[in-house]
Structure 1
């Protein structure tokens, strides 16, 4: 039996339908259909750093193999056949509409996702994954943790899920990042290993305006660190878009990790669909590579997001004749080294001033 993967996701694989409109509703260019979904973007964010068998996702055969055979076959082979695990389901393909109208961007499901629960992974190659990426409401986060408790405590010694309690990296669903859900979120903090809203969502939960200064970002993150339900070992990672990430733990304090693309390189950012999901995939890969160091892992996360924002859809992967994987023409490790060098230079400059 093969080793369990480092990561899996309770997230979607779907068809993203991009439309591009003027402010008056007229079309600026033809629609674009790409395979995406929050779960897939997370897995790709980690795939930049991990082998296909180390980062795996559950896919509905009806959704992808039968309804988008040519496009999916290309991805299946390109990213590695070991990355995909299958379950049979029936019904329409899951689709999301991503609309650009003038300067505004909107997202909505055209068909709802097929549900995935912890029990969906039992008797699949994904069982016993070390980390789980979760996008959900607070109550769903609590029920997911409870389901893993039930699976782990199974009385059957031959049960594949026995003892399985993955580390949960939780991305609160934007729909539930509102003040009326704060109490539930505070309860759900107790059962996750990483909490990661974006900065706007975090501020909205607390009925605050979005932060605009480094001090405001740090103060916002500290508020979550100070909630008594947050375990000592749980990290809080605010995803801050073009600014990077604000990362904190109770023992390590609060630190900044900048985005890979600098202000003068903003033309590299073409679409942010999946950027937050891929960030968290990179974060999990970084945790695995860096022995659980959340601050160093956040640099992997920023680099993963840097590849996803360069185009509509997933980044391009080319494997050279020497077996070297190049993503959008670059090596992820080269971008990581550049980012670390920039962070070191900034830290040295701050220390000497």
Structure 2
């Protein structure tokens, strides 16, 4: 078992307001959501469902249509736990160009020990999305489980990427193999100015390395930077940029970026397996995984055609080769 996430499954509901805060006639049906769900799908782009998974807390209100939709990616990916309190739900409120997110039911958090006794027990890679203080609690629990030393991918939760959280973050960084905030989150934690630029993002990556990312000093920082790509930084090496598959030139292909960062990290985990731990090469897999998520609202379409698995009608390997070629040509033009 390669990849498991402690991220939650969430049923997303929507409220669409005008600039004055009044409800509009536009409506959106509830959708499958949750950072764990998107991270799992990102890994599934590259790996069979037997190598990917997450726990889903399923209440009596869990729509059968959603369960059927999830089954399209592989039944064995999902470990369902029945919950009398109902499925976790959140409201996404859109007001003009702004968006807010609030839970409308109690959150049921997943811990490393919840994986024990399931097929997800002791995965080789563990992903989680949370505050720095909770990350410390998670890592303490990981260390209590015998004979388990997973590669740890930590994604800070957006609303805790503020300067006050830097000290708790520093405490957990030595236990994290890969730290991956997005650009705004990275700059927010470090009190660096917005908007993000390549220079500022590289500065942030170096600062996080200096603060102690990495087990035995071998950590990596990957700052996800939207259409600019991803900045990958390792200690004693210059930061390297891996391009996004869809860029600002492809606005017509970018429909909804919800879940893109989560799926990026699931794709990264898969790439680490397929590229024998090479984080630079793994980041190409991450970028391709995210590319399928942003092409529509909600989850992509997966189908097996002529013996190969296609996502939104395209082959992930084809995109991977295209992205690598694009990067090689860019490197040649800079020489």
Displacement of 1:185 after TM fit? 0.6
The answer on whether the counterparts of 1:170 and 1:192 sit within 8 Å (CA) in structure 2 is yes
2:175–2:213 contact (8 Å) kept in structure 1? no
- Matched with 1:222 is 206
Aligned residues: 333
Specify which of 5, 8, 19 is matched with residue 4 of structure 2: 8
Where does residue 318 of structure 1 map in the other structure?
303
1:29 has 2:23 as partner: no
Aligned-partner Cα distance in 2 for 1:175–1:216: 20
Q: CA deviation at 1:99?
A: 2.4
Question: Are the structure 2 counterparts of residues 250 and 313 from structure 1 closer, same or farther at C-alpha, using a change threshold of 3 Å?
Answer: same
Quote the residue 2:58 is aligned against.
61
- 1:91 CA drift (Å): 0.6
1:146 Cα deviation from its structure 2 partner? 1.1
Deviation for aligned residue 1:228 = 4.0
State how 1:195-274 maps to structure 2 within 5 Å. Answer: 195-228=179-212, 230-231=214-215, 232-274=217-259
Is the counterpart of residue 39 in structure 1 residue 36 in structure 2? Answer: yes
* 1:100 aligns to 2:91 (yes or no): no
Q: Structure 1 residue 97: deviation in Å? A: 1.6
Match of residue 132, structure 2, among 135, 138, 143: 138
Distance 2:158 2:247 in 1: 26
**Could you report, residue by residue, the CA deviation over 1:181-240 in whole angstroms, capped at 9, with x for unpaired residues?**
111111110111100111111111111112543222211211111224644211101011
Secondary structure of 1:29's match? coil
Comparing 124-133 and 30-39, the one that deviates more: 30-39
8 A contact 2:112–2:141 mirrored in 1: yes
Matched position secondary structure for 1:282: helix
User: Quick check: 1:21–1:100 contact (8 Å CA) kept in 2?
Assistant: yes
Q: CA deviation at 1:175?
A: 2.3
How large is the Cα RMSD of the aligned pairs? 1.6
Asked if residue 19 in structure 1 is aligned to residue 3 in structure 2, the reply is: no
CA distance in 2, matches of 1:130, 1:223: 28
Per the alignment, do residues 228 and 47 of structure 1 end up closer, same or farther by CA in structure 2, a change over 3 Å counting? closer
Conservation of the 8 A alpha-carbon contact between 2:39 and 2:263: yes
TM-score normalised by length of structure 1: 0.90
C-alpha separation between the residues in 1 aligned to 2:94 and 2:294?
Answer: 15
Name the CA distance, whole Å, in 2 between partners of 1:347 and 1:84. 41
CA distance in 1, matches of 2:97, 2:268: 30
